[in-house]
A = this chain, B = another copy of it.
Amino acid sequence: RDCLRPSIKVAGVKKSYREVIDVSWGDPHRAGVKPLSFVRQVLAACIYPQLMDGDKLMVDVKQRAQMLLRACPGGSVGSYCATAGVPEIVERVSEYITRRDGGVPSHPENIYISSGSQWALTNILKVLVNSEASPRTGVLTPVPCHSTTILSLMALGAEVVPYYLREEQGWALDVEELQRAWGSAKEVCNPVGLYVINPGNPAGYVQSRKSMQEVIRFAAEKRLFLLADEVYQDCVFGEETEFVSYKRALAEMGSPLSDTVELASFHTTSKGLMGECGLRAGYVELVNLDPAVMKHIYSLFSADSCAPVLGQFALDVMTNPPQPGDPSYPLYMKVDHFLFLIHRKAFTEFINSLPGFSCQPVEGGAFAFPRVFLPPKAIETAKELGMKPDTFYCMRLLEEAGVLSSPGSEYGQQEGTYHIRFCIMTPSEIMEEILRRLSTFHKRFMNEFS
């Protein structure tokens, strides 16, 4: 995953910038976003309950902390809990899902809280992928795609079957392309799963209900298990865009689809404005799975200990935030929601104004993934250095302007195209500085190689 990237030392050489801005991760706090106070106050009170004796904390902070501690054996966050998660929290997550999906019922026994959503995804893939099968088990996977899922698939011995998102249509997911991918896969493997990321990462698209219905029909027809990576569901910013979960879209299509298509949906505390990556908590909800398979999944999740208890508490707050009228509500709402909304447009407009860049609108997620048209001389120079051209661009951007981004080749892209991923979930002053540095660097770079 992203964490693999070694820290890059630029000390010793005089640079025009004072410090490196790291927007190469999907890690909001690293990119300068401040944690949400309500979450942190509740967690601090749970860790050190003596804090609740004074009058420093709001009454709803104390109530939440007390409620959460009551759910722990021995009243301590230091105890093990059930392997599927603290039962009270699992129940509250389930209620949240029901509310989110306009009443489509969710059942706690179908939810597993884990040490991050990727860990849950790997467990589900273990069930889906037969490492010893011949032909190999195939999973249809978008291009571009963040690398963690690809690595999990490869580690399990699965065949990664690429389907390309349509960049020129705002990175839309096109069923004809799924058909093509499935057809080509049939020759080399046995495709059993379809992995979708909505909202996208690295590409910032948000699927429409209509597109999801097409995908669901396709999955039903080909008997594919749907793996819905929905970790950016709270980060949807397009004016006419709304997040619809795959579970809701499926339920609304009615029987027989709603009773048969197998679906796993993933969410996490690491993404969006919560951004608590370091606490390690996420969950999966499973739909329409055979009871025997569910039993197997239970034992898989039980093989490890429980997810970190404090991460589970953050999940409780994420799915049950303060409500209007609660003492902490005003502070909770004082968040940079709107700044991000501005960045999204400011960034794409700005980058589209630079020669040689083209960026699709960002409707959701935390990233912009502009295409960069590199001059042939730059491509040649990169090859001479034994580097991929987009990696070369990112390296120069880091060295000369102190902006750490990540090259499209890490995510997959159409042959001969180059992209750069930027995390744009960052405070305004940092975003302004990024654009300033990028603009100066990019013009110089293009001149140098033109």
Contacts and interface: CB of A to CB of B under 8 A. Distances in A.
A338 interface: no
Nearest to A126: B155
A132 interface: yes
B27 A305 contact: no
B306 A308 contact: no
Contacts of A30: 73-74, 76, 79-80
Q: How many copies does the complex hold?
A: 2
A31 B132 contact: no
A405 B152 CA distance: 39
A388 interface: no
Interface in A31-75: 31-33, 35, 37, 40-41, 43-44, 47-48, 51, 72-74
A132 B130 CA distance: 13
Interface residues of A, number: 59
A115 interface: yes
A310 B278 contact: yes
A157 B31 CA distance: 43
Nearest to A57: B48
Given A31-B74, A116-B305, A308-B310, A277 B80 contact: yes
B305 A308 contact: no
A80 B305 contact: no
Interface string A310-334: 1100000000000000000000000
Given A78-B277, A152-B303, A280-B306, 16 more contacts: A3-B80, A27-B74, A31-B74, A35-B76, A44-B44, A44-B51, A47-B47, A72-B278, A77-B278, A78-B278, A118-B305, A155-B303, A278-B306, A278-B310, A279-B310, A280-B307
3 closest cross-chain pairs (CB), A and B: A278-B309, A29-B76, A44-B48
Interface of A: 1-4, 22, 25, 27-33, 35, 37, 40-41, 43-44, 47-48, 51, 72-74, 76-83, 115-116, 118-119, 122, 132, 151-152, 155, 270, 275-280, 302-311
17 contacts: A1-B302, A22-B73, A28-B78, A30-B74, A41-B48, A43-B47, A44-B51, A47-B47, A76-B278, A78-B275, A78-B276, A81-B278, A115-B115, A115-B305, A118-B305, A278-B309, A280-B308
